[in-house]
Amino acid sequence: MSLAKRIIPCLDVDNGRVVKGVQFVNIRDAGNPVEVAKRYDEQGADEITFLDITATAHDRNTTVQMVEEVASQVFIPLTVGGGIRTVEDIRTMLNAGADKVAINSAAIFNPAFVQEACDTFGSQCIVVAIDAKKVSTEGEPNRWEIFTHGGRKETGIDAIEWAQKMESLGAGEILLTSMDRDGTKSGFDLKLTRAISDAINIPVIASGGVGELDHLCQGITEGHAEAVLAASIFHFGQHTVQEAKEAMQAKGIEVRL
């Protein structure tokens, strides 16, 4: 008897539709967010994350409406990320029915915002999203840095130190994406995931690179993550969440079935 490791399908949303790109290009349409969220709920998803990838004012309203609609039909935790920059943005999403928000670039431009958000709403609803890329070359000790703008812009910030700083500011959880692996289907960056998970006490959600069920298991057993996030293996019918959980259980991982 203990806490189950979580599987979190991720829906990238663009103007009210679920999309999925390979390293943020070649975006493919993957359906109506409410329908997709309901399908994952029925398959036993432990949570659902929405990432709003375009954030014009008009699209934001579409996202808020979508969150409202999903929250009245799906009774598992919902996280919304993308363009969360102010306390008011967070309040809007929580009022629409989100349980958590993911803060990404706003944390980098203004770390005090993370603390303000946690003080206002509680750590339980503040997820800090970290996009990390390996910067060390072969033969050097591993080192990862934070990148912004979908992995195109470097910040020079060390990923492990950043995760520790976010924990100290009150973040309740870290959503860790390897920008080297995102969209490649070659598996998580397990060394990165493990380095961060072992360095902090709050839960880490591993993200970026899942192409088969075994990758999800590795994120837990080798990456020491508390939760694993994936998109395309679920969106296009390659696997159900149920199959993913059965695969994890077969590896001795505790799951909610």
Partner 1 sequence: MNQKLVAVVDYGMGNLRSVAKAAEHVAPTNTRIIVTHNPEEIESADAIIFPGQGAAKACMNALFETGMIHPIQKSAQEKPFLGICMGLQVLMSHSTENEGVACLDIIKGDVKQFELNAHPSLKVPHMGWNQIQQTQEHPLWHNIPQNSRFYFVHSYYVQPKEQSIIAGTTTHGITFPTVLSHKNLFAIQAHPEKSADHGLQLFQNFLQWNG
Query: Which stretch, 53-61, 90-98, 209-217, 245-253, contacts partner 1 (CB under 8 A)?
Result: 90-98
**What is the DSSP pairing of strand 48-52 with strand 78-81?**
parallel
Is there a contact between 133 and 191 (Cβ–Cβ < 8 Å)? no
* Rounded distance between C-alpha atoms, residue 10 and residue 231, angstroms: 5
Q: Does 172 bind partner 1 (CB under 8 A)?
A: yes
Catalytic residue among 12, 41, 59, 89: 12
Least Å distance, CB 220 to partner 1, is: 12
Phi-psi region of 62 (alpha: psi -120 to 50; beta: other; left: phi over 0): alpha
The binder of partner 1 chosen from 55, 202, 247, 253 (CB under 8 A)? 202
Query: Which stretch, 49-57, 119-127, 187-195, 234-242, contacts partner 1 (CB under 8 A)?
Result: 119-127
Nearest residue to 78 (alpha-carbon basis) of 115, 130, 125: 125
Site residues for partner 1, 17-46, by CB under 8 A, read 41, 46
Q: Does 72 bind partner 1 (CB under 8 A)?
A: yes
Distance of CA 144 to the CA centre of its chain: 18
Is there a contact between 184 and 170 (Cβ–Cβ < 8 Å)? no
189 counts as catalytic: no
Q: Based on CB atoms, which residue is closest to partner 1, 47 or 131? A: 47
Least Å distance, CB 26 to partner 1, is: 33
Q: Based on CB atoms, which residue is closest to partner 1, 145 or 173? A: 173
Least Å distance, CB 68 to partner 1, is: 9
Active site residues: 12, 131
Which residues would be at the binding site for partner 1 (CB under 8 A)? Answer: 1-6, 41, 46, 71-72, 75-77, 94-99, 121-125, 172-173, 201-203, 224, 226-227, 256
